[in-house]
C-alpha cells in the first residue's frame, strides 16, 4: 500500500522529491556536484546528503532517501544495488544498503519502497525511545 493511499495522509506526509538523475539530486536536494562527480550518484554519502537535503527543504521532521541502480547497470555498477538513508532533525542520519540483484526495473522498486518504510518505522521508534 502507498503511504499516500491512507485517508488523512496529508497530515503526516508533507511532500516528496523525485530526483531520479544526478542534476536534480544537486538542484532539488543540495547534494554537491563534486560529491556525485567523485563518487557517483549511488552510494552512502549521496543517500545521506539526499535525506538531509530533504529535511532542509521541507517542514518535515523525518526524511527518507533512496538511490540505486534498478538495472541494467552500467560498467562497474551493480544492478539492484540500493542505498537508503533516513534523517531526523537533531539525530545523525542512518544508512542501509540492499543488494536485490538483477531482477529488472519494476520489481526492484517495490522491495526498495517496502524496505524504506520499514527503515523509517525503526527510526521513528528509536527516536521516540531516546
Chain segment 3-25, per-residue pLDDT in tens: 677 788 787 778 889 999 999 99
Of residues 57, 59, 121, the one with CA closest to residue 84:
121
In the chain, where are the structural domains located? 17-128
Q: Where are the alpha helices (DSSP H) in 30-104?
A: 33-39, 44-56
Say what the pLDDT of residue 125 is: 41
What is d(CA 82, CA 99) in angstroms, rounded to the nearest whole number? 7
Of residues 63, 71, 49, the one with CA closest to residue 15:
63
pTM above 0.75, yes or no: yes
Say what the pLDDT of residue 57 is: 95
Class of domain 17-128: alpha beta
Of residues 21, 59, 28, the one with CA closest to residue 42:
21
Chain segment 63-90, per-residue pLDDT in tens: 989 999 887 778 889 988 989 999 998 8
Amino acid at each position: 500500500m502507498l503511504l499516500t493511499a491512507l485517508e488523512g495522509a496529508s497530515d503526516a506526509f508533507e511532500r516528496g522529491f523525485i530526483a531520479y538523475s544526478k542534476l536534480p539530486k544537486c538542484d532539488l536536494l543540495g547534494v554537491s556536484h563534486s560529491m556525485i562527480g567523485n563518487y557517483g550518484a549511488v552510494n552512502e554519502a549521496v543517500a545521506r546528503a539526499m535525506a538531509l537535503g530533504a529535511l532542509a527543504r521541507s517542514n518535515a521532521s523525518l526524511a527518507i532517501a533512496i538511490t540505486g541502480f534498478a538495472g541494467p547497470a552500467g560498467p562497474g555498477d551493480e544492478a539492484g544495488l540500493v542505498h537508503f538513508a533516513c534523517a531526523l532533525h537533531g539525530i545523525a542520519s542512518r544508512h542501509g544498503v540492499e543488494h536485490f540483484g538483477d531482477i529488472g526495473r519494476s520489481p526492484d522498486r517495490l522491495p526498495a519502497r517496502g524496505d524504506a518504510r520499514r527503515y523509517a518505522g525503526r527510526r521513528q521508534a528509536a527516536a521516540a525511545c531516546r
